[in-house]
Chain A
Amino acid sequence: MTTEPVWPDQLYDLLKRHGISQVALVPDAGHARLIRRCLADNAMRVVTLTTEEEGVAMLCGAWMGGAKGVLLMQSSGVGNCINMLSLAIGHRTPLAMLVTMRGDWGEFNPAQVPMGQATRAVLEAMGTLVRRADRDEDVVPTADAMLRLAFNTYRPTATLIGQRVLGAKTFGTE
């Protein structure tokens, strides 16, 4: 018997503690519970994007206007952000990204593997500090550390939530 993991609710509590008021996202199943919690919160503006790079630009504007935000996405979305990260680097914008990994641990879908394997390298090539969590109990402390790094030291940071934590989608084949 499996029990519901507690980290998504704890992640929501963490965002509240950090005063996050703008949540930009392209949905991922791994973020589904956190997204529901954010949508239910009137103090959070949830902005669904057509592509993840929109969120990078949006959060640069948010910070300029005094609001703190996070960008939620799947690892494939990191590839869509590459050039837009130039803004966060050039402006010294605190940009906290929470990335759920695909193509990482027991993946079923071949199309997820190239970007999943390149996620960390791509982010680091674009000046982003990256840490990852591969156990449930590491997700919230890692995200907390990366949010602090972003907002205290004015730079993009990414928390990678490993597919081992999320479980691999098997399209009904297992």
Chain B
Amino acid sequence: MGRLDRRALVRAVLQDRGELLVVAGLGAPAWDVTDVGDTPCNLPLWGGMGGAAMLGLGLALAQPGRPVLVITGDGEMLMGLGSLATIAVQRPPNLAILVQDNERYGETGMQETHTAHGVDLVAIAEGAGFARTLRIGSEAEVPALRSALHACAGPLFALAKVDDKPLPLVLPPREGAVLQARMRAALGLER
């Protein structure tokens, strides 16, 4: 399976994003979504490793009318494997998870993660009970992913193998209270 350019992938996934709310796991996924364009409808995480998918669940349950996409890395997802079971049991129709799997811990020196040794996150998601999973092998498959996540037809787990070439950092705002408050304001929750 070919390896995708992670920035081009995220740019394509977020094209015509409409009502989409995005949670980005710490590290490269947060830089990737910010490279496309910082917006109040993004929550780039700076910490809470292992929590991105569950943060997405809470948001998806609170905002059932809007699609929610969690974009995260393989290392972050491996730290929260239990959350795949929790989410599969809850079956939120509007929650999708996209793992950008470079088989590395990118922020700490490119050490190998378990996915470099055969651990298959798609198989784990299927075993947890995700009825819809996608392996994205080329950019040509991104439109199918985009339509699936906007369809809000049950929780979706997608994974793309991405390359590990170094990229310039594109840092989002760091103040968590600002990131939270601006999304709440965008949702009409702050007066």
Chain B binding surface, main DSSP class: helix
Q: Mark out the residues of chain B between 45 and 60 whose CB falls within 8 Å of any chain A CB in the assembled complex.
A: 45-52, 54-60
Interface flags, B64-96, vs A, CB<8A=1, else 0: 000000000000000010110110011000000
Cβ–Cβ contact B189 & A66, under 8 A: yes
Which B residues are in CB contact (< 8 Å) with A65? Answer: 21, 58-63, 187
A-B contact count (CB 8 A): 118
Interface string of A89-116 (1 = CB under 8 A from B): 0111100000000000000000000000
Any A CB within 8 A of the CB of B183: yes
Stretch of A54-62, A124-132, A159-167 that contacts chain B: A54-62
Q: Which of A4-12, A32-40, A41-49, A133-141 contacts B (4 or more CB under 8 A)?
A: A41-49
> Complex: how many Å from CA A163 to CA B45?
37
Given the known interface contacts A53-B51, A57-B54, A87-B47, the answer about A66 and B63 at a Cβ–Cβ threshold of 8 Å is yes
Please list the 4 inter-chain residue pairs (A to B) with the smallest Cβ-Cβ separation, ordered nearest first: A65-B62, A61-B58, A50-B82, A57-B51
Total count of chain A residues near the partner, CB < 8 A: 32
A24 vs B82: C-alpha distance in the bound complex, in angstroms? 14
Name the one of B51, B59, B189 contacting A87, with C-beta atoms under 8 angstroms: B51
The interface of chain A, by Cβ under 8 A from chain B, is: 21-22, 45, 47-51, 53-67, 69, 83-84, 86-87, 90-93
Query: Given A61-B23, A64-B183, A64-B184, A54 and B62 touching (CB < 8 A)?
Result: no
